[in-house]
Amino acid sequence: MIVGDVSISYYGAMDFFSGHEESVAGERPTTKPLADRMRPHNFDEFAGQQKIVGPGTPLRRSIDEDRVGSSIFWGPPGSGKTTLATLIAHATRGQFVPFSAVTASIKEVKQLISKAGDYYKLSGRRTYVFVDEIHRFNKAQQDAFLPYVESGDIILIGATTENPSFEVNSALLSRMRVYVLQRLQPEDLADLVRRALLDEDRGLGAMNLTADDDAIAFLAEAGDGDARRALSLLEATAAYVGNGGQLTLEVLREVHQKGSAVYDKSGEEHYNLISALHKTIRGGDPDAALYWLARMLEGGEDPMYILRRLIRFATEDIGLADPYALTLALNARDTYHFLGSPEGELAIAELSVYMACAPKSNAIYIAFGQARKDASEKGSLPVPLSLRNAPTSLMKELGYGDGYQYAHDYQDAITSQEYMPDNLQGRQYYRPTDLGREKKIAEYLERFRSYRHEIMNQKKNPSD
């Protein structure tokens, strides 16, 4: 398609689904990857996502009635976002125009969109502008779609692997319906693999391959919810064994070598997994903690990032209930620095298990937050004269240091000294729990505060 002087290549809705697998450039289907060749031509072939496009669902009804509005498809790689958009365009006999936010410019998109209204008037068919990885456009670029979405000149369908709440302009997001696609289940991928093995036109049927049930199960699990990944592994293994070959578990493992879990170190899954690790340790489950830790490390997370979060956990969630947790966390950091991966990762595992089993207290975290709030809101309250140092004679004359009680001169080093500014006297921030070492601290504070309370009462009622 030519828009002005901009050339845009795409599959027209009818051409893409007509059963002719030749591309716009005349590419023969056998040169296309298996995952591309096996893209569904109708909803009967579309794997998974029945909660979204199954019969009777709101989206399916809007497709059947040709009233699909601008939408965001949010889901992991290989869950069918692009395929769903093309199926919608075909089912409603619309013009399907795909762009990639990685390679296309807003200028190119706007040039095409400017023609979409005329296209509808001439043909009665709507234009579906599909933007893959729409989160790659910045907020200002996303604003360019607003007038066209509002006027209905186009149906904008954006695909993203990132949370649209964070990555899509709120003005644009409010005008679009968000559909959440889930990672495909192993049974969905197994059906897709079997279909690819039998399909002689688009799949590998002409190769006369055989596959054990456990081999198909391995492909489904190795796909990790991603149809593209499962079919790519199938295609690579088919090329390895050749025509008439047998796909066995051993061969698949050899080709697959080491799986790489779905993990984006800068995206939402990064935060989902560290949140899972943090909350699992807080909840006291060492087995789950080891699993989430392994998921992060296998996905390529920087071990030092994990250690930084665990050091923070030691102070925020364990605190003085077990002060050794912080020591162990710092030791784990030093151990990893010294050994590196993979040996040093065992120290992180040891730390995770220890902290999951350790007594928990966020008393320090709460207390320090309250103290900072007072420090921020109460202004620069003067330091009591008794607590001020008096290095000069003038300071001594002004009363600096007067009345200071040297704690070592008193039983249990507890004095009647007031250490708070006048406006905050009696304020208590730290309330230790009765868990772990904090129980001992709580006993001390009980003695300390009781004695101070007794002394204060005596000062108020000297006759007593």
Q: Is residue 222 within 8 Å of residue 256, measured between CB atoms?
A: yes
Q: Which helix (H) or strand (E) holds 20?
A: none
pLDDT, position 203: 92
Task: Kindly indicate the confidence band of residue 455, based on its pLDDT and cuts at 50, 70 and 90.
Answer: low
Q: Is the pLDDT of residue 8 over 60?
A: no
- Distance of alpha carbon 307 from alpha carbon 314, whole angstroms: 10
Task: Kindly indicate the confidence band of residue 196, based on its pLDDT and cuts at 50, 70 and 90.
Answer: very high
Return the minimum-mean-pLDDT range out of 112-121, 128-137, 173-182, 336-345.
112-121
String of DSSP letters for 76-103: -TTSSHHHHHHHHHHHTT-EEEEEETTT
Name the pairing type of β-strands 71-74 and 2-3.
Answer: unpaired
**Mean pLDDT confidence for 142-151:** 84
pLDDT in tens, 364-405: 999 999 898 888 888 788 888 888 888 888 888 888 888 888
Residue 67, class by beta-carbon neighbours within 10 Å (0-12 exposed, 13-18 middle, 19+ buried)? exposed
Q: Is the pLDDT of residue 318 over 80?
A: yes
Q: Is residue 11 within 8 Å of residue 23, measured between CB atoms?
A: yes
String of DSSP letters for 179-206: EEPPPPPHHHHHHHHHHHHH-SSSSSGG
pLDDT in tens, 218-261: 999 888 888 888 999 999 999 888 999 999 988 888 888 744 44
Q: Is the pLDDT of residue 18 over 50?
A: no
Return the minimum-mean-pLDDT range out of 79-93, 133-147, 184-198, 203-217.
133-147
Task: Kindly indicate the confidence band of residue 428, based on its pLDDT and cuts at 50, 70 and 90.
Answer: confident
Q: Is the pLDDT of residue 46 over 70?
A: yes
Residue 182, class by beta-carbon neighbours within 10 Å (0-12 exposed, 13-18 middle, 19+ buried)? middle
Q: Is residue 432 within 8 Å of residue 442, measured between CB atoms?
A: yes
Q: Which has more confidence, 1 or 388?
A: 388
Q: Which has more confidence, 460 or 339?
A: 339
Residue 31, both tokens = 């040169």
pTM listed for this prediction: 0.57
- Distance of alpha carbon 139 from alpha carbon 51, whole angstroms: 30
CA 361, 366, 367, 372 torsion-angle sign: positive
Calculate the alpha carbon distances from 139 to 97, 98, 146, 167, 374 in Å: 22, 20, 11, 8, 38
pLDDT, position 302: 85
CA 70, 158, 260, 341 torsion-angle sign: negative
pLDDT, position 5: 32
* Average pLDDT along the chain: 82
- Domains, the chain, in order of start with CATH, read 2-180 (3.40.50.300), 186-256 (1.10.8.60), 268-357 (1.20.272.10), 383-460 (1.10.3710.10)
Look-up: residue for tokens 């809705």?
Answer: 13
String of DSSP letters for 102-169: TT--HHHHHHHHHHHHHHHHHHS--EEEEEETGGGS-HHHHHTTHHHHHHTS-EEEEEESS-HHHHS-
- Distance of alpha carbon 131 from alpha carbon 142, whole angstroms: 11
pLDDT in tens, 61-116: 999 998 899 999 998 888 899 999 999 999 988 888 888 877 777 777 777 777 76
Q: Is the pLDDT of residue 16 over 70?
A: no
Q: Is the pLDDT of residue 155 over 70?
A: yes
pLDDT, position 169: 86
Q: Which helix (H) or strand (E) holds 6?
A: strand 6-7
pLDDT, position 430: 85
Q: Which has more confidence, 139 or 282?
A: 282
Q: Is the pLDDT of residue 458 over 90?
A: no
CA 394 to centroid of chain Cα atoms: 61
CA 180 to centroid of chain Cα atoms: 14
pLDDT, position 31: 66
